[in-house]
Each structure stands twice: as structure tokens, then as C-alpha cells.
Structure 1
Amino acid sequence: MCYIEITKDNIEDNHICCALSTKQYEHAVNEKKRWLKARMDEGLVFYRLHERAKVFIEYLPANEAWVPINAPNFMYINCLWVSGRYKNNGHAKRLLDKCIADAKACGMDGIIHIAGKKKLPYLSDKHFFEHMGFTLQDEAAPYFQLMALTWNGLADSPAFKSQVKSDSINEKGITIYYTAQCPFAVGMINDLRELTEKKGVQFQSIQLSSKEEAQKSPAIWTTFSVFFDGRFVTHEIMSINKFEKLLNTLA
């Protein structure tokens, strides 16, 4: 199998796996490409299968990651995604092996990733990571688990930052935290705003625009997190119809 590394030099001529068949998100894909190029200066690495497929891994040093975690000298996996007919062909392991090799070459103590207690959209299946030797390091409500593969037994244990432990904020109505990391989040936000306000519910979206903002965020899943009246509701980027059903249960 052939994998290619997406770099600042070739990213404009290559797809980045997200929203491959959705023309309406083209502007959001371009925004993610700009986001990736900026992160590459901070050590982000992006490998994908050399086909038109959603098979890729994206990782960077944890101290540069846009998530509220403490994990000095670890590598953080933003996303490891293998979809459709490409599942169960060893792609996830081979892509993870690239991350492991890079982390060891950089003298790091291990690798971390956020998974879910159970199988959920947009969150990795923790059972794969357990099979690969990852162990649970920390948890936060309602279902987030911080997993780590560590080869230095003296390394400090990775952990979520304290501000995410309460899973609540002091806001009314719908509040969505998001970044440009996922084109679907960027592409959907205006539609979600229009629907929410049409129903007479207060709406605010907070696009995290720096590593510092993301690391101080009350949302663990900074890619996309929905709060209602201050309580965390979901990290799932929903269709308009599904989000409307959610609103009907909340408001």
C-alpha cells in the first residue's frame, strides 16, 4: 500500500480526505488546508492513502495540539480515520506505526489520543487503541477518554486540563465551540445558527483561532462541541434534520 505525506509544498494539489464528494463544503476544505499549513510549521504531520479515499492520520506534538490536555513530550493524534471498504485492511495499524516511528525519532515518551467510552460518531473506537497497547490515562464527562501508548515508564501521565472536568459553562441557549480542523464544522455552522435562531433559541458560535484559546477551552473536543444552557450536549457534527430533533428535545 502506498501512503503519501501531505506537506505545505503539495497540499494545494492533493485532497485531504475530508468532504471528498461534497461540493458545498469546498470553502471549508480550503480553510482546513490553510489551518493545516499553519500547523505544519508547528510539527503537524499528515499521511494519507494514495487514493481517493478517507484513509489518513494527522498528528503533532501534544504541546502544540489544539486540545485542553497536559502531556509534555508526547505526540498527539488529531485524527486517525479509515472508512468504507478500506476498513480491516491494516491501514490503521500502518498509519499508527508511522506516528510511533516519528514520535520515537523525536525522543518523545509516547503517543496520546482522545477516544470515547463507547462507539460514537467522530470519535475513535477505543478498542483498536487498546489492542495496539494504549491504556486509559484520564477521563472526563460524559464519555471522553484519554488513551496513551507509553514507552518511557518514568514519563508524567497525560491528563485533561482541570477546566474541562465540569463539562459546563456559564452561557444560555446554544453555544458551539469549533475550529477549522474539520470542514464539516466550518461548513455547517451558519446553517445551525439559522435554524436555532428561527426557533427562538439564543445562539453563539466561538471559533477557536489559536492553540492558546483551544488549550484553555472548556470543551474537550475543540473540533466541535455543543452546549445548551451551559451544559455539554454533544461533540457530533449533525445534519440539519438531526440537529433540529436535538433542539426539540432541549428547548
Structure 2
Amino acid sequence: MNTDFINLTTENLVDEHLCCIIRSKKPHQGIEAKRQWLDDRLKEGHVFRKLNEKATVFIEYAPLETAWVPITGDNYYYLYCLWVSGSYKGKGYGKLLMEYCLADAHKNKKSGICMLGAKKQKSWLSDQSFAKKFGFEVVDTTDNGYELLALSFDGTIPKFTQNAKKQEIESKELTIYYDMQCPYVYQNIEVIKQYCEINMIPVSFIQVDTLQKAKELPCVFNNWSVFYKGKFETVNLLLDIACLKRILKK
């Protein structure tokens, strides 16, 4: 078992594999957009720790105060993503990554760690049953089943903003909020844009390009959120055409 992990820095970012499932050997606009997004975030205390191989074994978290999510709390880390896939699953890598995050939080005297979950596990969210083994508990919920999980060290708890629980916007057309944190975002936009153009479906893409915009979003957000007919639908970044068609039938 290889336990050689490295943290991305502004110095090594340009050369390191970003651990996503995109395996393109050619320049990929989504990956390059992710690098730029990370370059700005690393200066704010964002952590991206990965196995030193071309593998999907990584954890990504940030101080909640600078995390691009509509969640409030004092002195917490927000865990964006903890992912282990393929032949690396079941070998203890997830445990090592979570333990690193916990140790980092204690070292920096954080009040705790929080993450996005759901009443029913979503394939596009980190495994909440795994997190609960470390003591994470549900501390806030939305009406449509999304949950905020937290591991508190001092009894304080974070919360979704009131805006995040609103889950409504004025526009009735298909509306997608996104940032460039995930390499999948770029290609998803292109696929959805092409489908909507061919089928003459009005669609708006709203880039969340500042921390303030992220904190004020009218829904839960982990880098992608979809609305239709004014109602929040999903944060499923793996929004294929079949899923999109189901939303548009509503």
C-alpha cells in the first residue's frame, strides 16, 4: 500500500495530476479551469491532499469562512470532497485522508469539520456513512432531504444559511449555478447547452465567481445547483441528458 501523499501548493499545482476521473492526455479546459480556481483558493487555506499517483484518491477541504458554500459557522473546516475509487477502494486510503483532516483541524484549533450530505445517500456526494463512523452527525436539514453533517469539537454547530433553505428563484426557466471547482463542470455545461439549443429550451448558466455569491445562493451548493420552474432540483453534477429530461418533464 502506497502511503506517499502530497498536498497541492501554488508551486506544484501546474505539474500535478488533479485526481479526477477525467483521463484525457490532451489539454482539458475543465482541468485547466480547476487549476486556476485552486490557485486562488490555496492562498486562502484551501487544502487538496492526494495520493502521489495518477489515481482518484484525494481529500479537499477549506476554512468554512472561505468555503464557497451557503453555510455559516465559526472556525470550522468544510469538507468538499473525500474520494477513493477503482482498485484503491477498501484499502484504508479514505481513513488515512480523513484522519489527516481531523489532525489538521485539531492542530489549527478548529471548532470542527462539516460536510454536505443527504437523508438518502447521493452518488455525487462523499459517503456520509463513512463520515459518521468518525462521529459526524446531522446538525441541519433542508425540506427536500439535504443535510449538513458536522463533527464538533467544542459543542458549536454550523448551519445552512436561511437563503440556502429558500430553494426558490424568480426565473422559471432552466437555471444552473456553477463554479469551476470541478473539472466536470465545463463539459457538463457544453452538453446541456447543446441539448437545450437543439431542442429550443431556454437555459441560464450563472457562474458563481465570488465568495459572496456562493454564500448568498438560494440552495445547497457544492459547485453546481439546478433550478427549474423556480424550484431547486439537484446538486447532481453528473447531470446526464436522461436526468435532465426527467427534470424538464415536471
Q: TM-score, normalization: structure 1? A: 0.93
* Alignment coverage as a number of residue pairs: 248
2:125 paired with 1:123: yes
Aligned to 2:161: 161
Q: Tell me how far apart the structure 2 counterparts of residues 52 and 116 of structure 1 sit (CA, whole Å).
A: 30
Q: Tell me how far apart the structure 1 counterparts of residues 64 and 145 of structure 2 sit (CA, whole Å).
A: 21
Q: State the SS of the aligned residue for 1:123.
A: coil
Q: Tell me how far apart the structure 2 counterparts of residues 51 and 222 of structure 1 sit (CA, whole Å).
A: 25
Q: Tell me how far apart the structure 2 counterparts of residues 222 and 208 of structure 1 sit (CA, whole Å).
A: 11
2:227 paired with 1:227: yes
Deviation at 1:243, TM superposition (A): 4.1
2:198 paired with 1:198: yes
Contact 2:116–2:147 (CA under 8 A) maintained in structure 1: yes
Deviation at 1:215, TM superposition (A): 0.5
Aligned pair partner of 2:8 in 6, 27, 49: 6
Structure 1 pair 24–123 and aligned structure 2 pair: CA distance change class (3 A):
farther
Q: Tell me how far apart the structure 2 counterparts of residues 151 and 168 of structure 1 sit (CA, whole Å).
A: 34
- Letter of the 2:45 counterpart: G
Which shows bigger deviation, 81-90 or 35-44?
81-90
Aligned pair partner of 2:78 in 76, 79, 92: 76
Contact 2:49–2:59 (CA under 8 A) maintained in structure 1: yes
Q: State the SS of the aligned residue for 1:115.
A: strand
Aligned to 2:178: 178
Deviation at 1:131, TM superposition (A): 1.0
Q: Tell me how far apart the structure 2 counterparts of residues 102 and 35 of structure 1 sit (CA, whole Å).
A: 22
Q: CA-to-partner distance for each residue in 1:18-73, whole Å, 9 max, x for gaps?
A: 24314588111011011011001100011101111111001110000000001111
Q: Tell me how far apart the structure 2 counterparts of residues 219 and 22 of structure 1 sit (CA, whole Å).
A: 32
- Report runs of 4+ in structure 1 exceeding 4 Å deviation: none
Residue pairs, 1:108-147, within 5 angstroms? 108-147=110-149
- Letter of the 1:206 counterpart: I
Q: Tell me how far apart the structure 2 counterparts of residues 16 and 39 of structure 1 sit (CA, whole Å).
A: 15
Deviation at 1:222, TM superposition (A): 4.1
Alignment identity in percent?
35
2:99 paired with 1:101: no
Q: Tell me how far apart the structure 1 counterparts of residues 14 and 246 of structure 2 sit (CA, whole Å).
A: 37
Q: Tell me how far apart the structure 2 counterparts of residues 130 and 239 of structure 1 sit (CA, whole Å).
A: 27
Deviation at 1:86, TM superposition (A): 1.3
Deviation at 1:4, TM superposition (A): 1.0
Deviation at 1:106, TM superposition (A): 1.3
Structure 1 pair 32–150 and aligned structure 2 pair: CA distance change class (3 A):
same
C-alpha RMSD of matched pairs (Å): 1.7
- Letter of the 1:31 counterpart: A
- Letter of the 1:171 counterpart: S
Deviation at 1:228, TM superposition (A): 0.5
Q: Tell me how far apart the structure 2 counterparts of residues 138 and 231 of structure 1 sit (CA, whole Å).
A: 20
Q: State the SS of the aligned residue for 1:13.
A: coil
Structure 1 pair 129–26 and aligned structure 2 pair: CA distance change class (3 A):
same
2:209 paired with 1:209: yes
Structure 1, unaligned stretches of length 5 or more? none
2:231 paired with 1:245: no
Q: Tell me how far apart the structure 2 counterparts of residues 70 and 244 of structure 1 sit (CA, whole Å).
A: 31
Aligned to 1:187: 187
Contact 2:165–2:220 (CA under 8 A) maintained in structure 1: no
Contact 2:136–2:151 (CA under 8 A) maintained in structure 1: yes
Q: State the SS of the aligned residue for 1:108.
A: coil
Q: Tell me how far apart the structure 2 counterparts of residues 24 and 162 of structure 1 sit (CA, whole Å).
A: 43
Q: State the SS of the aligned residue for 1:227.
A: strand
Deviation at 1:121, TM superposition (A): 2.2
Which shows bigger deviation, 33-42 or 183-192?
183-192
Contact 1:118–1:125 (CA under 8 A) maintained in structure 2: no
